[in-house]
Structure 1
Amino acid sequence: MSNKNAGSCLCGKIKFDLEGSFESFFLCHCKYCQKDTGSAHAANLFTTNSKLSWLSGEDLVKTFNLPQTRHVKSFCTNCGSAVPSIQNNGDLIVVPAGSLDVPVSIKPNAHLFIGSKANWEDELDELPSFEGLPR
């Protein structure tokens, strides 16, 4: 499915459009993704056939390549939010799912690096759930 996906950072200074389709959606539990998200896993969409257009704030995008790894993260230098990164000499675009301002068009394909899964991640679906903050 080919479509246009709009996204932005938390502060709204970076805005982007991505025209095309996502080939895969992975939830990565590696230690690097835990560190750079501050969470149990990263949720990233991957595309090799889309066109990324920065609508505003491209000058605020900083990309960090963890030395001696394939781990790459692009983020807003104003608010720190993860934004799309262009990798593999421009052949791959990795889009943090949470950076999209539209519903994600595909379901996750797989969990990756579950051997590094956070010890507190088990049985999360058994916890109480609230629509907002608990009273």
Structure 2
Amino acid sequence: MAEEMAGGCACGRIRYTVTGEPEEAYLCHCRMCQRATGSVSIAFTTFPLEAIRWETEPDWYDSSPIARRPFCSTCGTSLGFEFRQDSKRMDLTVASFDDPSPFKPKHHFGAEGIQRAWINTEGLPEYRTDQYQALVDKWVKATGKFPG
């Protein structure tokens, strides 16, 4: 894995870099993460706090008495999770990295909230965005090209 990796929000207002290897990567299924992200699970990777450098300070949501979450108030991107007290590490959302492909999940957390129908999707039909002509047409009409 790369020595330094970068990421940020969808609109680009919040950017960060991390240095070194992550401590772990996992899928969280707890109800708090489900509600905070609007998803059945969220992929996190954990880094020591000193390994994370915010180019622009993110907005913070106090999601519970024990935790807070960095996010972008402009585009709404969820960027991570951090315990409020005595935290020496932070979880960053895998999908907010410019290249999320190096991370591989090692375990599930919050297993009581697992939505089993969404875990093993092997065998379901797969569709590419660039092959969905109605979407391509909307992009071309709005911007003159399809992103990617």
Tell me the residue number matched to 1:89. 86
Distance in 2 (CA, whole Å) between partners of 1:104 and 1:47 is 16
Change (3 A) 1:84 1:113: closer
- Is contact 2:68-2:82 (8 Å) kept? no
Please report how far the alpha carbon of residue 10 of structure 1 lies from its aligned counterpart in structure 2 after TM superposition: 0.8
SS of 2:32's equivalent? helix
Confirm whether residue 34 of structure 1 aligns to residue 39 of structure 2.
Answer: no
1:92-107 equivalences under 5 Å are: 92-107=89-104
Distance in 2 (CA, whole Å) between partners of 1:106 and 1:78 is 27
Q: Kindly indicate which of the two structures has a greater share of residues assigned to strand.
A: 1
TM-score (norm 2): 0.74
Change (3 A) 1:71 1:127: farther
- Is contact 2:69-2:82 (8 Å) kept? no
Q: Which runs of 5+ in 1 are unaligned?
A: none
Q: Larger RCO: Structure 1 or Structure 2 (Cα < 8 Å, ≥ 6 residues apart)?
A: 1
Distance in 2 (CA, whole Å) between partners of 1:127 and 1:104 is 21
Please report how far the alpha carbon of residue 63 of structure 1 lies from its aligned counterpart in structure 2 after TM superposition: 3.3
Task: Out of 113-122 and 35-44, give the one that drifted further.
Answer: 113-122
Paired residue total: 131
Tell me the residue number matched to 1:79. 75
Distance in 2 (CA, whole Å) between partners of 1:49 and 1:79 is 24
Tell me the residue number matched to 1:51. 51
TM-score (norm 1): 0.80
SS of 2:53's equivalent? strand
Tell me the residue number matched to 2:60. 62
Task: Out of 121-130 and 96-105, give the one that drifted further.
Answer: 121-130
Bigger-Rg structure (1/2)? 2
SS of 2:86's equivalent? helix
Instruction: Give me the CA root mean square deviation.
Output: 2.4
Distance in 1 (CA, whole Å) between partners of 2:81 and 2:97 is 13
Change (3 A) 1:4 1:30: same
- Is contact 1:21-1:49 (8 Å) kept? no
SS of 1:25's equivalent? strand
Please report how far the alpha carbon of residue 114 of structure 1 lies from its aligned counterpart in structure 2 after TM superposition: 2.4
